Amino acid sequence: MATVRAQDALTFTPRGSYHVFLSFRGKDTRKTFIDHLYATLSGAGLCTFRDDEGIERCENVNSELEKAIKAARSSIIVFSKTYASSRWCLNELVMILEHKRASGHVILPVFYDVVPSQVRHQTGSFAEAFGRHKELFMTETDERKKEYLRNKVEGWRKALREVANLAGMDLQNDANGHESDFINKIVKVIRDKLNQKVLHVAPHTVGLEYRVKDINSWLRNTSADVGIAVICGMGGIGKTTIAKDIYNSNYERFEGSSFLASIREISERPDGLVHLQRQLLLEILKGKKEHINNVDEGIVKIKNYIGCKRVLVVLDNVDKSDFFDRTIGMRHWFHPGSKIILTTRNKHLLKAHEVCRIFEVEPLCYRESLALFSWHAFKQDHPIEGYVEQSKEVARRCEGLPLALEILGSSLSGKGLDIWESALQKLVAIPDSQIMGKLRISYDSLQDDHTRKLFLYIACLFFGKDKDFTIRILDGCKFHTTVGIDNLIDRCLLTINGCNKLMIHQLLRDMAREIVCQESPEEPGKRSLLWDHEHSLYVLTEKTGTETVEALYLNMHLLNNSRELKTEAFERMRNLRLLQLNDVKIKGGFKDFPKRLAWLSWHRFPLKSIPSDFPMESLVALDLSHSKLENVWKRTKKLLNTWPWTYLSWNPWETLT
């Protein structure tokens, strides 16, 4: 922290430039108590003003010191034995109290080697000092000047009585005479009074208090164990905001602390890990710089320091499982009672043998979502008249994701209703690019193309489907589905509900579909997955399908369309593996129909029997519900014995022979 001295006072003007103004009697404490207090305040991040030794006391400096008082959020007044002997100190005290009355300026009286009653009643050394002040005006012969000095002295007495009645700190009572402990307590008290936060947390953090409650309870556990916690959740769910709030509320409970932000981005830079190690040591050592040349040297130096004091370390946005060991070192190096918190999108980031607490961040409920959106859109916790239904629609669509609510609320703030309606229509068709960019980080960080492709399949085609059924189908498509689903759950991209259904957040589904659409923005027939019924109908009608298409879903009933299609529309889709049709009529032979089909779901299948040239060798599931089938077994009985697993569905009232 830069030193702030009175010689520089001419440049001091803005209110709130300093956290603390120090008022003290230099003769008693400048080179001892005040020097240590100033260093501790500065080391704690509190910008502190103190006047310099030997400064000439003139009217100009007096005016500038008054500016410094007004530019500070608080004053610490250190009362020592000869404090009242200094007219300069007493005038300064009066200025501080005047500022308090006008602005709510925070004052903390500190009784160093005197007790509050001496200050309040001007006894002891304070009585002696005021005896000398009285002599000064009693010997004055000019009556007007004498009256002025009498009022001045009475004003000093009144100021001392007023400040002594404020809640203060006494060296003997609060620290049993131990100055080091006393100084640390002073810093904590002034921080609490200023509500000092070292990390910025965005305003309008709806639902934050509920979400940090359990983590704070864990963090404040007095166990001597080294604790590790993982705060996990999908991108934009509020992990970093929660971590910052927790850090602000708890860092003073530890002897050292560090918050390393944006680790994923920084660690990818040249010497990024070394930069993070330097920052960690700089913060734990309260500004003392340590030279580090490489990661290994950094680990050794970190080991030497973290073993000596209880520390709180927050590692924000970690995506590599080995980051902890490679950057900081081993858990057992930390001093007993230390706490380490990681935020990540990967629930099981740490090794299986690591003992840690996992806190998964829940989405906002609907009420919280509407309130957060309203704060950003209307600067209040509820929608304004005329925008209620539109606001509710945004809240529903965002499904409790704070990032999306904040971005959309800010973008619509101050806009007319016509803009809102247009934006909502666009949001359904084209997801917001800023939101998608943030969410795509989770997709891009998946460990391989196999897992990324599996995510797209589930998000576009199997959302809400039974987990076991999905595994059966996708295993038939050569996916390693079970382990893939487990990886997606760990990355907070997928959940399984109580009914064993696969669930994915609406905005993650939007992101997945946008990724697929970008494979060929203008020509749907060149995309791998076709789930949009209108796109599917276009591809089949215009016969624009290609080898790229691996899955197609078409529901003619939803389109209210009875058009008859031709089987030749499928000829070029040689890699089609999943086909869902509902109320679709097709004419033509099936000789050149895709032969790699693993799943065929054709509700209201229009034929009485499965054509003899229909390719069924690769099928693992066949769903012909609500169909007109009469003769299914003649074609399939022999194949049933060769299929490793089979899923057949039809209506129980259908006549099968």
Give the other-Cβ count within 10 Å of 376's Cβ.
Answer: 20
**Catalytic residue (one of 64, 92, 283, 368):** 92
Examine the pLDDT at 531 and tell me if it is beyond 70. Answer: yes
The rounded distance, in Å, linking the Cα atoms of 442 and 321 is 15
Per-residue model confidence as pLDDT tens digits over 291-337: 898 988 988 888 888 888 889 999 999 887 777 777 666 777 888 99
H helices then E strands: how many in the chain?
27, 20
Query: Where does residue 197 rank: exposed (0-12), middle (13-18), buried (19+ CB within 10 A)?
Result: middle
The rounded distance, in Å, linking the Cα atoms of 137 and 160 is 19
Residue 291: per-residue pLDDT: 87
Give the other-Cβ count within 10 Å of 4's Cβ.
Answer: 24
Q: Six-digit token pair at 379?
A: 């600067």
Contact 530, 552 (CB under 8 A): yes
CATH class of 208-360: alpha beta
Query: Would residue 297 show up in a list of annotated catalytic residues for this protein?
Result: no
Examine the pLDDT at 534 and tell me if it is beyond 90. Answer: yes
The rounded distance, in Å, linking the Cα atoms of 262 and 76 is 36
- CA quadruple 504, 507, 509, 512: dihedral positive or negative? negative
Listed in sequence order, the residues at least 6 apart from 64 whose beta carbon sits closer than 8 Å to its beta carbon are: 6, 9, 10, 12
**What pTM was estimated for this model as a whole?**
0.66
SS3 547: coil
pLDDT bucket at 6, cuts 50 / 70 / 90: very low
Contact 232, 244 (CB under 8 A): no
Q: What is the DSSP string of 193-256?
A: HHT--SS---S--TTHHHHHHHHHHHHT---SSPEEEEEE-STTSSHHHHHHHHHHHHGGGSSE
Examine the pLDDT at 492 and tell me if it is beyond 90. Answer: no
Bridge pairing between strands 502-503 and 495-496:
antiparallel
Per-residue model confidence as pLDDT tens digits over 8-43: 333 333 445 789 999 999 888 888 999 999 999 988
For the chain, how big is the Rg over CA atoms in Å?
36
Least confident of 7-16, 223-232, 332-341, 485-494: 7-16
The rounded distance, in Å, linking the Cα atoms of 315 and 240 is 10
- So where are the chain's domains? 18-53+64-194, 208-360, 366-429, 441-647
| DSSP bridge partners of 223 | none
Please name the fold of domain 18-53+64-194: Rossmann fold (3.40.50)
